Amino acid sequence: MQTPVIDFINTRHDTFIDELKTLLAIPSVSALPEHAGDVRRCAEWCRDELIRIGMQRAEINETPGHPIVYAEWLGAPGGKTVLFYGHYDVQPVDPIDLWQTPPFEATVRDGALFARGSADDKGQVFMHFKALEAYLKTVGALPVNFKILLEGEEEVGSKNLDEFIASHKDLLAADVVLISDTAMFERGVPSICYGLRGLSYFQIDLRGSNTDLHSGQFGGGVVNPAMALANMLTQLKDRSGRIRIPGFYDDVVDLTEAERAEFKKLPFNEKRWARELGAPKLFGETGYSTLERITARPTVEINGLLSGFTGEGAKTVLPAVAMAKVSMRLVPNQHPEKIGDLFEAYIRDIAPKSVELKLTRMHGGKAWKASLDNPYVQAAGRAIEFGFGKSPVYTREGGSIPVVATFQDILGLPSVLFGVGLPDDRIHAPNEKLDLDNFQRGIVASAKLYEEFSTIA
Amino acid sequence: MQTPVIDFINTRHDTFIDELKTLLAIPSVSALPEHAGDVRRCAEWCRDELIRIGMQRAEINETPGHPIVYAEWLGAPGGKTVLFYGHYDVQPVDPIDLWQTPPFEATVRDGALFARGSADDKGQVFMHFKALEAYLKTVGALPVNFKILLEGEEEVGSKNLDEFIASHKDLLAADVVLISDTAMFERGVPSICYGLRGLSYFQIDLRGSNTDLHSGQFGGGVVNPAMALANMLTQLKDRSGRIRIPGFYDDVVDLTEAERAEFKKLPFNEKRWARELGAPKLFGETGYSTLERITARPTVEINGLLSGFTGEGAKTVLPAVAMAKVSMRLVPNQHPEKIGDLFEAYIRDIAPKSVELKLTRMHGGKAWKASLDNPYVQAAGRAIEFGFGKSPVYTREGGSIPVVATFQDILGLPSVLFGVGLPDDRIHAPNEKLDLDNFQRGIVASAKLYEEFSTIA
């Protein structure tokens, strides 16, 4: 890689962090309607920054929801074309009181930058902005054609992305999709992710009466919807951690012996992992290792519960309603629509007649698995070795990036998942952070990656 | 009863309502620390009003919590002494958006006064203030000596009341306790309550990890505390509605055939009751009628549930903690302390090792049952017939007034429970109301009741 590019990156560490802080200061929480203006402001900030660093074109595209940012540099005719995908929206920040520093005032502490979105995904998107800037501001050109697609609805199910991609196939035509929205296996173990889980997310609302009741006057005579909900949720998994929804496992391709052998090779210490999480004791599906459970096996989780009086003190209310948010993580070959149908049928079946049930399907996405001998995946391995000084391990992640399946299905493109997050980055939780050494090495590796892509036959 | 007393009451209906509105405007929510000042202000308002209507003495007594108001009129030496007990604190008002008119701006609608505390218990306390005022402002004397004890912590377990009563035995010496904090069996069916349920209230907190986690990255590998909580709560009752806590029923005195026959005589229409509540289908302990279930059988209820993300939208969080508020309603002979111990032991037993459990005992109170041939109960029957034009039915209530057991245990006094609430008054819930016809008739009946008490040998 050309020296000026490397030099540009290595001499601007602090500047890059300051710039990133500006991006992280925008509370682009896509799930909360009151932040819709902030989400738009963040899209505009990205567009302006992309023009500033030298992209030939950058624009806001309206959708029925939050806008999509598109940018491009097409100055390498005949060369490879990379389609970079990322998201500029972030998760909500509650419980806000558990943040050590304000979520939208990025703060450097212990070699990391703490802020909502620092790792997921603004920091990793910005890493590419800086790698691109390094080429454009020094040698004045990129080694490949480069298209950028940033959405503002990743944290709420990418509702409008598939439609945008399907209706902009020519605009988005490329050779490979590049995504940096995943984590390294652990600190010092750079990784390429070759598998992701899918998602099917529901809200369950139960109503037992038309108003909250006095638990003394009515307790024992009417259904308690919170109790009915607890009963129903209990029936989702058996004591061995196996999901009880009929048909749920029908399409699951079980792990091969070879895959299970790969899992065993990874440096994973269950005891240390549990200790770091503060988990008194691990729990999961019988017959699988923790690593398999969290990346290659499906699960069902309660994401939220609400009923009755939850303030300080003792209110003797018999709640009228109870709510649960429940989501399933899916593995390759499980289809979110089909799983959603099975879930609905089961929930309707186990709901007692004493409650009124409302089921809301929030969003879903397919799982994904890549081929390890794909030349772009191999190129990414070399770039990572250049940036981080060691060859990567190949891992699977338990999270969902549904767009990876979309790129495969609609554009026919393979994806390379090159992430520099760390497992303890606390994405979606209080005190999210980005490791600054990984950020810096990631910029170098990204710049190298574009060059490696350009050499593929 | 003397004509001027009756006339005073019958010509001041609107004035009484306006005065009551002033009392109801004070948000004396004892459960919420931010309302501590309002609770005190309410105590002061009651003291001032009691002096204004002509009581000889009225004062604020400090406690470690909210203050206790004491007042007296002792101008009938050698006569009977009544100790009236009531509470001036109210329940929280959430969910606030379900109130048709603001909870602390009392509003007349359809012959009722809508406000938090209108029925429970400010309106019923104020009914006695007005009956007393009628005597004191017309004939200048009461037919009995009258002591008033108003507490500000009834809705949070009367934490400091027992201690106050125990240390003021002489001050509170009397012949009978009078309480108006219950409801009539139904509109047009005046009632005397001869039984109450007890209470044992807990908060359960579970922790599965030291921070909220991403449900994709961690789901399937660690315990979900909301799921663990659902599992535990499900084990509180079996499918027949019977409580599964070992030993829970040991001290329950089952209903006699005679008592069950009395229950059958009461005008109770289960279908109409369910329809009015908006309950799709009733549920309760097998082998008992709804009326028995809600007044004379113990129950366990979830009063509140909270875990993870409960806002709008879909947040893929694996919660670190989950909380439930759970309370048991007890029947005569069950002791709250013993039941609390059984509950704790059971919860600790069924909590999985994968979570950290914290149990908080919030408050409790004993159940109570009166003798129907007590002369004070009989006197109340006559007064009610005078005020409401028909003789009362004898009922039991499912709610808890622990102080009734306290008066029996510490002062050796029988209690007369004469309430003018209605079953659909929505106490503890949005749109609490007080029927204004009952309020007016209740003032007359109260005035008559003092006279009836004075005639007992």
Spacing of C-alpha A86 from chain mean position? 10
Candidate from B32, B219, B231 with C-beta closest to A234: B231
Q: Report the pLDDT value the prediction gives residue B162, as an integer from 0 to 100.
A: 93
pLDDT band at A369 (very low <50, low <70, confident <90, very high): confident
CB-based contact B115:B107 (threshold 8 Å): yes
The region of weakest confidence among A306-320, A423-437, B131-145, B251-265 is: B251-265
pLDDT band at A112 (very low <50, low <70, confident <90, very high): very high
Q: Report the pLDDT value the prediction gives residue B104, as an integer from 0 to 100.
A: 98
Percent of chain B exceeding pLDDT 70 equals 100
Whether A372 maps to a domain, the answer reads yes
Cβ–Cβ gap A398/B284 under 8 Å: no
Ranges assigned E (strand) in A261-315: 299-308
Same domain, residue pair A202 and A179: no
CATH of the domain at A232: 3.30.70.360
Same domain, residue pair A42 and A176: yes
**B154 part of the active site:** yes
Same domain, residue pair A207 and A182: no
Long-range CB pairs of A7-16 (<8 Å, 24+ gap) are: A7/A138, A8/A133, A8/A134, A8/A137, A8/A138, A9/A130, A9/A131, A9/A134, A9/A440, A9/A443, A9/A444, A9/A447, A10/A440, A10/A444, A12/A130, A13/A436, A13/A440, A16/A126, A16/A130, A16/A439, A16/A440, A16/A443
The region of weakest confidence among A79-93, B102-116, B135-149, B402-416 is: B402-416
The pLDDT tens digits of the residues spanning B419-437 come to 999 988 999 999 999 999 9
Among the listed residues A153, A154, A155, A451, the single catalytic one is A154
Q: Report the pLDDT value the prediction gives residue B371, as an integer from 0 to 100.
A: 76
Strands A81-87 and A145-151: parallel
- Of A311, A338, A365, the residue at which a domain comes to its end is A365
Chain A: closest CA distance from residue B30 (Å)? 9
The pLDDT tens digits of the residues spanning B98-134 come to 999 999 999 999 999 999 999 999 999 999 999 999 9
Whether B351 maps to a domain, the answer reads yes
- Of A365, A385, A404, the residue at which a domain comes to its end is A365
Ranges assigned E (strand) in A102-155: 107-109, 112-114, 145-151
pLDDT at A63 over 90: yes
Q: Hey, of A155, A290, A316, which one would you mutate to test binding to chain B, going by the most B CBs within 10 A of its CB?
A: A316
Strands A107-109 and A112-114: antiparallel
In A, minimum Cα distance to B217 occurs at A398
- Which tokens belong to A246? 């009929």
Same domain, residue pair B15 and B92: yes
User: Please, how many CA atoms are within 13 Å of residue B405, restricted to the half-sphere of its CB?
Assistant: 22
Whether B74 maps to a domain, the answer reads yes
How far CA A265 is from CA of A191, A259, A291, A394, in Å, comes to: 13, 10, 11, 10
pLDDT at B75 over 80: yes
d(CA A347, CA A351): 6
- Of B310, B331, B365, the residue at which a domain comes to its end is B365
**A89 part of the active site:** yes
Give B52's contacts (C-beta < 8 A, 6+ positions apart): none
ipTM: 0.77
Domain total for chain B? 2
Cβ–Cβ gap A236/B219 under 8 Å: no
The pLDDT tens digits of the residues spanning B186-204 come to 899 999 888 999 999 999 9
Candidate from A229, A314, A427 with C-beta closest to B325: A314
Encode burial over A228-260: b for 16+ CB neighbours within 10 A, e otherwise.
bbbbbbbbbbeeebebebeebeeebeebeeebe
pLDDT at A104 over 80: yes
Q: Hey, of B302, B356, B358, which one would you mutate to test binding to chain A, going by the most A CBs within 10 A of its CB?
A: B302
Same domain, residue pair B15 and B72: yes
A183 contacts in chain B (CB < 8 Å): 217
Label each residue of A362-421 as H, E or C: EEEECCEECCCCCHHHHHHHHHHHHHHCCCCEEEECCCCCHHHHHHHHHHCCCEEECCCE
Average pLDDT, stretch B324-346? 96
The DSSP code for A303 is: E
CB burial class (10 A; 0-12, 13-18, 19+) of residue A138? middle
Strands B81-87 and B145-151: parallel
Q: Report the pLDDT value the prediction gives residue B209, as an integer from 0 to 100.
A: 96
Same domain, residue pair B217 and B310: yes
The pLDDT tens digits of the residues spanning A328-338 come to 999 999 999 99
Q: Report the pLDDT value the prediction gives residue A186, as an integer from 0 to 100.
A: 86
Percent of chain B exceeding pLDDT 90 equals 85
Whether A41 maps to a domain, the answer reads yes
Give, for A205, the enclosing helix (H) or strand (E). Answer: strand A198-207
User: How far from each other are the two terminal CA atoms of chain B, in whole angstroms?
Assistant: 18
State the count of interchain CB pairs (< 8 A) between A and B.
372
- Which tokens belong to A136? 């454009």
Average pLDDT, stretch B248-271? 89
Whether B382 maps to a domain, the answer reads yes
Q: Which comes out higher in pLDDT, residue B3 or A448?
A: A448
Q: Report the pLDDT value the prediction gives residue A421, as an integer from 0 to 100.
A: 95
Give B424's contacts (C-beta < 8 A, 6+ positions apart): B276
How far CA B221 is from CA of A273, A286, B309, in Å, comes to: 10, 11, 20
Whether A413 maps to a domain, the answer reads yes
CATH of the domain at B39: 3.40.630.10
Give, for A207, the enclosing helix (H) or strand (E). Answer: strand A198-207
pLDDT at A356 over 80: yes
d(CA B109, CA B97): 18
Same domain, residue pair B50 and B9: yes
d(CA A325, CA B314): 8
CB neighbourhood size of B426 (10 A): 22
pLDDT at A371 over 80: no
pLDDT band at A29 (very low <50, low <70, confident <90, very high): very high
Range of the domain at B310: 198-252+298-365
Cβ–Cβ gap A199/B209 under 8 Å: no
Same domain, residue pair A104 and A54: yes
The pLDDT tens digits of the residues spanning B166-176 come to 999 999 999 99
Same domain, residue pair B126 and B212: no
pLDDT at B372 over 80: no
Encode burial over A68-83: b for 16+ CB neighbours within 10 A, e otherwise.
bbbbbbeebeebbbbb
Whether B17 maps to a domain, the answer reads yes
Same domain, residue pair B246 and B350: yes
Candidate from B94, B157, B429 with C-beta closest to A211: B429
Percent of chain A exceeding pLDDT 90 equals 85
Q: Report the pLDDT value the prediction gives residue B364, as an integer from 0 to 100.
A: 85
CB burial class (10 A; 0-12, 13-18, 19+) of residue B259? middle
Average pLDDT, stretch B357-381? 90
Give A202's contacts (C-beta < 8 A, 6+ positions apart): A325, A326, A327, A340, A343, A344, A347, A359, A360, A361, A362
Q: Which comes out higher in pLDDT, residue B261 or A382?
A: A382
Residue-averaged pLDDT of chain B: 95
Among the listed residues B133, B154, B186, B435, the single catalytic one is B154
Whether A274 maps to a domain, the answer reads no
pLDDT band at A374 (very low <50, low <70, confident <90, very high): confident
In B, minimum Cα distance to A219 occurs at B294
In B, minimum Cα distance to A199 occurs at B216
Q: Report the pLDDT value the prediction gives residue A363, as an integer from 0 to 100.
A: 82
Cβ–Cβ gap A230/B230 under 8 Å: yes
Same domain, residue pair B240 and B337: yes
Rg of chain B, C-alpha, whole Å: 23
Cβ–Cβ gap B308/A305 under 8 Å: yes
The pLDDT tens digits of the residues spanning B215-237 come to 998 999 999 999 999 999 999 99
pLDDT at B394 over 90: no
Q: Report the pLDDT value the prediction gives residue B257, as an integer from 0 to 100.
A: 87
Q: Hey, of A301, A330, A361, A433, which one would you mutate to test binding to chain B, going by the most B CBs within 10 A of its CB?
A: A301
A242 contacts in chain B (CB < 8 Å): none
Same domain, residue pair A361 and A382: no
